[in-house]
Structure 1
């Protein structure tokens, strides 16, 4: 597991020594990150966006061409499809937080290597720490492997809740996969209905002042 509790503790300790006190400070640090070679060829570092105190967080693979140009995650074709899914599920995008495993676009939109993921996961670890969401949705195999299981299969693990350190993860297909395989649309929608149900239940309990 790339994102083990031990590695989280080490990363948090390391960043604490740097004095990071907010997600905005983290964003400034991330923009200057050169821990791998991806920063050399990308246009912009694509940091997470959305509600900085969201209860629901979506995590994708990495920026595409449009994201690299605009510096915002999920604004290309896959992002437009994600917006439609969220709208259908009655989940407001401005109320959640969206990020990626890596923050710089790989050449040709190739999948990031393990070393590139390891180099960038410290940023995601800190995003999760600052936002502190209760529910996290890994979108696609790269997010699943980076967050939960380096050998995990998204086909086998999607739609199954996993509890880890007080947070609940539900992996599902990446929206980009739906653009190439229509057969993935129905199972993805079923997953988002589960996410919607859990999200609304959590918000209701929180509003009632109940411990969740």
Structure 2
């Protein structure tokens, strides 16, 4: 078995991506270590220490100091590049980067250069908004999944196909809307983003909305609904009703419903989503 230090950086990067896709979040040592046995040995050594009579200094024969052969030191592990720790400074840097962008293209460039969110270190790529840049409807999910991270676009794979069927049911196509996520980098193992990670990403999603100027928002899933509506209620309490959110001083009508992934994993929820989509379509026509 090769140790991590023996791998080429590109090989190590590919291996880490494989582990992330498989849902691995912790890396352990290469060989199993019996910590219980280590503890018992240490405790036995401490208990035996007082019973050993130490020789008095004057009785100890003088020994000639011999030069000690210095063992070669193992090379220090190379530091991981671009490891970011989320903090208040990262939020301020995100606000500055987002506020400096004057178009979606500029915002994408700014986000690609941003290193203040630790999610970027494990994701393959930035998954940015895609579709109509000046849409009547902007669709916002929570975060990229493994398919999105691989393809570099939001709502790929099975959940993307489900979303396209949802939109087609109310007379919309994928090309008609702008698709994006609250968090643009896939968290390891598809875990939910932490509160700090979400705080760092907030300036970027709010700037996307401000630059796209959609007339309506369709918010998908529990995380995105609670985040954008600033609520602690669940998606089942927030879904099916029009609400107003303010972005850059501009009120935007917003409507929350279930995420396509919810319908893939629990098809019985399609009935609720269809009711929501009919209400959403009525609001578009009103």
Counterpart pick for 1:30 among 101, 105, 111: 111
User: Where does residue 35 of structure 2 map in the other structure?
Assistant: none
> Does 2:123 align with 1:42?
yes
Aligned length: 191
Distance in 2, matches of 1:11 and 1:170, equals 30
Distance in 2, matches of 1:123 and 1:21, equals 12
Counterpart pick for 2:264 among 179, 190, 205: 179
| 1:170 partner SS | strand
| 2:180 partner SS | strand
Which structure is higher in RCO with an 8 Å CA cutoff and minimum separation 6? 1
Which consecutive unaligned segments of at least 5 residues does structure 1 have? 1-9, 202-212
Whether the aligned pair in 2 keeps the contact of 1:53 and 1:133 (CA below 8 Å) is: yes
1:47-62 equivalences under 5 Å are: 47-62=128-143
Evaluate the alpha carbon distance shift between residue 11 and residue 147 of structure 1 in structure 2; reply closer, same or farther with a 3 A threshold.
farther
Evaluate the alpha carbon distance shift between residue 14 and residue 158 of structure 1 in structure 2; reply closer, same or farther with a 3 A threshold.
same
User: Where does residue 5 of structure 1 map in the other structure?
Assistant: none
> Does 2:282 align with 1:197?
yes
Distance in 1, matches of 2:95 and 2:278, equals 37
1:138-149 equivalences under 5 Å are: 138-149=219-230
Distance in 1, matches of 2:185 and 2:146, equals 10
Whether the aligned pair in 1 keeps the contact of 2:221 and 2:256 (CA below 8 Å) is: yes
Which consecutive unaligned segments of at least 5 residues does structure 2 have? 1-91
User: Where does residue 14 of structure 1 map in the other structure?
Assistant: 96
Evaluate the alpha carbon distance shift between residue 42 and residue 14 of structure 1 in structure 2; reply closer, same or farther with a 3 A threshold.
closer
> Does 2:144 align with 1:63?
yes
- The runs of at least 4 consecutive aligned structure 1 residues that moved more than 4 Å come to 10-13
| TM-score normalised by L of structure 1 | 0.84
Deviation at 1:13, TM superposition (A): 7.6
Counterpart pick for 1:131 among 185, 196, 212: 212
User: Where does residue 41 of structure 2 map in the other structure?
Assistant: none
| TM-score normalised by L of structure 2 | 0.63
